[in-house]
Structure 1
Amino acid sequence: MTRVVQFTGPRRVAVAEAESPPLLPGHLRIRTRYSGISAGTELTAYRGSNPYLTRTWDPDDRLFREGAAGVDYPVTGWGYSEVGEVTEVAPDVPAGPGVPAPGDLVWGVWGHRDEGVLPAERMTGHVLPAGLDPLAGVFARVGAIAHNAVLAADLHLGETVAVFGQGVIGLLATRLAGLSGADAIAVDPLDVRLSTALTHGARHALNARTDEVAERVRELTGGLGADVAIELSGAYPALHEALRSVAVGGRVVASGFYQGDGVGLRLGDEFHHNRVQLVCSQIGGVPPQLAGRWTVERLQRTFLGLVADGRVDVLSLVSHVVPVARAAEAYTLLDERPAEALQVVLEF
């Protein structure tokens, strides 16, 4: 038997037992060591606001359909930031460069559960870099999300980018924007996160509750406005302020997971009058203009390489490591006391 985390209803978490899955041909068995909780997408399932809980996604037409839920409670094994040890390899899996072997530590996506059985092909190249703390591996996916947003921003040396939302992904985007040659302005309603942003490469920090953000961004840029804004909070008022903050003809990358109707977003204002370009960044794919060279797999590997080289610090962003038996406490913390938490990790 193995343990798996379930959402049994809105804001209800259980750790259930399940049968250990059989080892299939061409697969690996991985014993989970750490699994990171997403404070964005994952909390929408925890809170009950995720669109899959009320509508059905049509993958052929790529439209949501009304009338039936695509996902029902209990939602089992959500999670996409796992690290574990390979314990078993199917006999038909050939050894080769990058193919994990028993005892290797690997990163990937198999959800909040004791173990995963995954195709060896999918895990090829997923062995953690030598010397990297296993806890750092939970950042492969969230780091890729931040990297994807920075690529979509199309930053250039000497430009200014305002990064809205300084949770884990926003902090990583702030750091990556600086590595790309841009000056980053961090925006968040929590002073504790703004202080962290300044240690992760932000040149300036603005409080979304107490500062007139768009006006301050223009002051900091000599009246021009930011060349680009990246919005990662998933809040419509923040997206609106990002649109207000960029220069005429500037770009806003919407990388948050927005829920419900767009209250607070007024597209007839600065978006219309300043001819702002609004683009979406989502980890299901890379920016279309880069699709010939970049993949989601490359995003993840590149990000972990930056961590292994010491160019991006992720371990300082881990605020809590929680035994999986206390998973409900971890979600309550992220939901009710976000100022106290950054990256929360379940330990198995």
Structure 2
Amino acid sequence: MESVVQFTGPRQVEVAACETSPLPPGHIRVRTRYSGISAGTELTAYRGTNPYLTRTWDPEARLFRDGAAGIEYPVAGWGYSEVGEVTEVSPELAGTDGVPEPGQLVWGIWGHRSEGIVPVERMRHHGLPDGLEPLAGAFARVGAIAHNAVLAADIHLGEDVAVFGQGVIGLLATRLARLNGARVTAVDALDVRLAKAHEYGAHHTLNARTDAVAETIRERTGGRGADVAIEISGAYPALHTALRSVAVAGRVVASGFYQGDGAGLRLGDEFHHNRAQIVCSQIGGVPPQLIGRWDVERLQRTFLRLVADGEVDVKSLVSHVVPAADAADAYVLLDEHPADALQVVLEF
């Protein structure tokens, strides 16, 4: 038997038991050690706000269609930040290039479940880099999301960059933007996260609830505004403030997962008058101008190499390691007490 974490309804979580499946050709079996919870994407399904719960995504038309849900409760095994040990490899794959071997620790995506059966094409060369702690492998995907946003920002040495949202991905974006040569202003509504942003290299921090964010950023840049802003909180008011904060023809990278109608976003104001750019960053692909050189695999591997090389610290982002059996408590913590948690990881 294996166990899987699933949402049975809005804010309802259970850990279900299911039969172990035979290994099909072209797959590997992985016993999960750690699985990181995404406080953004996953909470949309936990809270019942995810668009797939009310509409269907048409991949050919690239449109959402009304009238039917793309996913329904129970939503089983969400999660995209797993680390585990290979326990079985389909016999015809043994010894082929890049295929993990039994006993090897690997990172990948197979969801919050005690065991993953994963197509080999998604696991080639996914062994943990030498010297990397297993828990760090759970940051491959979130690190790639942050890295993708920084690539979309097209930062140049010495530019002023504002990063809105200092959760896990925002903190990683702050660190990567600093490594890229930016002077970073970190913005969040929680002082505890702003303190962490200082540790991750932010030159300045601003509290979205109490500070005049756009005015302060313009004052500190001689009236110009930030060259670029990365908005990663998924809050429409934050996206609006990011637009207020950038220079004429400045760029705003929208990397958050925005839910519902855009309350608080007024596109007739600074966006219109300052001719600002809004660029979407989403982990389904890399910035168009980089397609010939970058892909999502390279993003993930590059991020883990940065961690292994000591350029990015992820260990201090882990606030809680929770037994998978107590997954419901982990989601309550992230949903109701965000100031008390950063990266919450399920241990199987």
Flag whether TM exceeds 0.5 (same fold). Answer: yes
Distance 1:317 1:167 in 2: 9
CA contact (8 A) 2:163 2:173 kept: yes
Deviation at 1:119, TM superposition (A): 1.7
1:120-165 superposed Cα distances (whole Å, 9 cap, x missing partner): 2221110001111000000000000000000000000000100000
Distance 2:187 2:99 in 1: 42
1:289 aligned counterpart, secondary structure? helix
Residue 26 of structure 1: how far off its partner (Å): 1.8
- 2 CA distance for matches of 1:129 and 1:206? 36
| TM-score normalised by the chain length of structure 1 | 0.99
SS at match of 1:92: helix
Q: For residue 43 of structure 2, give the secondary structure of its aligned residue in structure 1.
A: helix
* 1:195-237, Cα deviation, whole Å (9 max, x unpaired): 0000001000000000000001011111110000000000000
Residues in 2 aligned to 1:69 and 1:120: alpha-carbon distance in whole angstroms: 30
Aligned to 2:214: 214
Residue 304 (structure 2) pairs with residue 304 (structure 1) = yes
Percent identity among equivalent residues? 78
Q: CA deviation at 1:193?
A: 0.1
The secondary structure found in structure 2 opposite 1:250 is strand
> Per the alignment, in what secondary structure is the counterpart of residue 157 of structure 1?
coil
User: Matches of 1:75 and 1:94 in 2, distance apart?
Assistant: 33
**CA–CA separation in structure 1 for the residues paired with 2:225 and 2:136:** 35
Q: Which residue of the partner structure matches residue 227 of structure 1? A: 227
For 2:44, the equivalent position in structure 1 comes to 44
- Are 2:89 and 1:93 aligned? no
Alignment of 1:80-119 (within 5 A): 80-119=80-119
Question: Is residue 2:322 matched to residue 1:322?
Answer: yes
The alignment's C-alpha RMSD in Å is 0.6
Q: What residue in structure 2 maps to residue 336 of structure 1?
A: 336
> Are the counterparts in 1 of residues 35 and 346 from structure 2 also a CA contact under 8 Å?
yes
Counterpart of 1:201? 201
- Tell which deviates more after alignment, 201-210 or 88-97: 88-97
Alignment of 1:28-43 (within 5 A): 28-43=28-43
**1:229-284 Cα deviation digits (max 9, x unpaired):** 00000000000000000000100000000000000000000000000010100000
User: Within 1, Cα distance between the matches of 2:29 and 2:94?
Assistant: 15
Distance 1:158 1:129 in 2: 31
> What SS class does the counterpart of residue 8 from structure 1 fall into?
strand
Check if 1:157 corresponds to 2:157.
Answer: yes
Aligned counterparts of 2:60 and 2:97: Cα–Cα separation in 1: 36
**Contact kept in structure 1, 2:155 and 2:180, CA below 8 Å:** yes
1:153 counterpart letter in structure 2: A
| 1:6 is the counterpart of 2:2 | no
Deviation at 1:96, TM superposition (A): 3.8
Q: Is the 8 A contact 2:94 2:101 kept in 1?
A: no
SS at match of 2:93: coil
Q: Give the AA of the match of 1:88.
A: E
Aligned to 1:264: 264
Mapped partners of 1:190, 1:158: distance in 2 = 27
For these two proteins, the number of residue pairs brought into alignment is 348
Report the AA paired with residue 222 of structure 1. Answer: G
User: C-alpha separation between the residues in 2 aligned to 1:220 and 1:97?
Assistant: 52
- 2:54 maps to what in 1? 54
TM-score between both structures, scaled by the size of structure 2: 0.99
Distance between the aligned counterparts of 1:313 and 1:78, measured in 2?
Answer: 25
AA matched with 1:45? A
* 1:146 is the counterpart of 2:146: yes
| C-alpha distance in structure 1 between counterparts of 2:239 and 2:249, whole Å | 16
Deviation, 1:98, is: 2.8
Q: Please tell me the residue identity of whatever aligns with 1:107.
A: W
Give the distance between the partners of 2:142 and 2:193, measured in 1 at CA. 17
Give, in angstroms, the shift of residue 94 of structure 1.
Answer: 3.6
Q: Distance in 1 between matches of 2:145 and 2:2?
A: 30
Unaligned runs of 5+ in 2: none
Task: Give the counterpart letter for 1:130 in structure 2.
Answer: D
1:10-61 Cα offsets, whole Å, 9 max, x none, are 0000000111121111211100000000000110000000000000111110
- d(CA) in 2 for partners of 1:195 and 1:160? 19
In 1, distance between residues paired with 2:90 and 2:283? 30
Given residue 185 of structure 2, which amino acid in structure 1 is its aligned partner? I
Distance in 1, matches of 2:122 and 2:271, equals 41
2:148 is the counterpart of 1:130: no
Question: Does the CA contact (< 8 Å) of 2:161 and 2:230 recur in 1?
Answer: yes
